[in-house]
Chain A
Amino acid sequence: MQDNLYTYLLMLGDNSMILGHRLSELCGHGPSLETDIALTNMSLDLFGQVRSYFQYAAKVKGDDATEDSIAFLRTERKHLSSLLVEQPNTDFAHVITRQYFFDQYHLLLLEQLCESNDDQINAIAKKSIKEVKYHHRFSKTWMRRLAQGTDVSHQKMQVAVTSLYPYTEELSKANGVEKAMLAEGIGADLDAIKVQYYNELDGLLSDIGLQKPEEGYFYKGGKEGIHTEHFGFILSDFQYMQRTYPDMTW
């Protein structure tokens, strides 16, 4: 088995899976019917990507791995999503900010993966980027709306930005696997992404009148499988059926 490729696919898939999960928790609870439908659409897009990545990962892994064994039967420490996407749906300001912070990265990432010399990743990226362009436009527009809407919304957005900004750096900070994948022409160049990413992010924030935290501290660990305390609760929901009724077909 190609260990690095497999791990890389988990990293790609896990980000989409955990964010998709967070969005799916909102289904039926959105601030308006129209917005509810829009958020669910994004969740569906992300789970579609998860399936593509994990079907491919299952092939790479071999044995009797399936998309579901990969999605449902790993322990917390084996999940490689970034800390940002597991942050809870505290309020709509957090939902939108988390989404925009991820979408901006996701878009830059997929632009590069569209050039990947791995045919499968390349194909998945080409399909996903259309979806993510839409997510990005959606979340960016909402960032603007809420930051410049009312005093209340501005305040809530500032709180969300302050609390979520420290989770952003991890996204574009390459670990060993990501470096190896870049060297093979499969993965993205995160150093390049990082520059563009913060240009976009900081540009938008200053344009819409929001402050990034001054201290400049960042959290990390998700990509190595060390998560926040939220993660266990996500898995107890997500894996409930597979763990309670092992080895059954659904």
Chain B
Amino acid sequence: MKNEWPLYEVFIRSKNGLEHRHVGSLHASDAEMAIENARDVYTRRQEGVSIWVVPSSEITASNPENFGELFEPAEDKVYRHPTFYDLPHELKHI
């Protein structure tokens, strides 16, 4: 609808040392209001120390229909994972 405030996606860092995580979305007329609204809506119980807001329209997402070509090729690249490598059990700290 014409006069709707744009949608923003909200990301919150719950404490320093952790990454920002997507927590939800909200409407605001501008980015400044989005930050304020995010503070009031998503941190009422001290859930955060830092907030990011991004206009939802600015997010480019991968297409789930391309799941196969995007993500399945990684499936057989087991050599990227530590368990691929056989080392003697008595070895420590590696």
Contact = CB atoms under 8 A, between A and B. Distances in A.
- The reply to whether A and B meet directly (CB within 8 Å) is yes
Contacts of B36: 38, 137-138, 141
Contacts of B32: 141
Interface string B1-44: 00001000000000000000000001111001100110011001
Max chain A CB contacts within 10 Å: which of B29, B37, B40? Answer: B40
A34 B26 CA distance: 8
B27 A41 contact: no
B44 A34 contact: no
A145 B29 contact: yes
Q: Which of under 10, 10 to 19, 20 to 34, or 35 or more describes the interface residues of A?
A: 10 to 19
Interface in A87-115: none
A206 interface: no
Interface in A132-162: 137-138, 141, 145
B29 A38 contact: no
A37 B29 contact: no
Contacts of A141: 32-33, 36
A137 B28 CA distance: 16
Contact of B27 (A32, A137, A138, A145): A32
A37 B40 contact: yes
Contacts of B37: 34, 37-38
Interface string A162-196: 00000000000000000000000000000000000
B91 to A, nearest CB: 53
Contacts of B27: 32-34
Nearest to B29: A145
Contacts of B26: 34
Contacts of B33: 34, 141
A137 B40 CA distance: 13
A41 B5 contact: no
A37 B5 contact: no
Nearest to A42: B40
Interface in B37-81: 37, 40-41, 44
Contact of B41 (A34, A137, A138, A145): A34
Contacts of A38: 36-37, 40
B37 to A, nearest CB: 4
Interface of A: 32-34, 37-38, 41, 137-138, 141, 145
8 contacts: A32-B5, A32-B27, A34-B27, A34-B33, A34-B37, A38-B40, A137-B36, A145-B29
- Nearest 7 Cβ contacts at the A-B interface: A34-B37, A38-B40, A37-B40, A41-B40, A37-B41, A34-B26, A34-B27
Given A34-B26, A38-B36, A138-B36, 6 more contacts: A34-B40, A37-B40, A37-B41, A41-B40, A141-B36, A145-B29
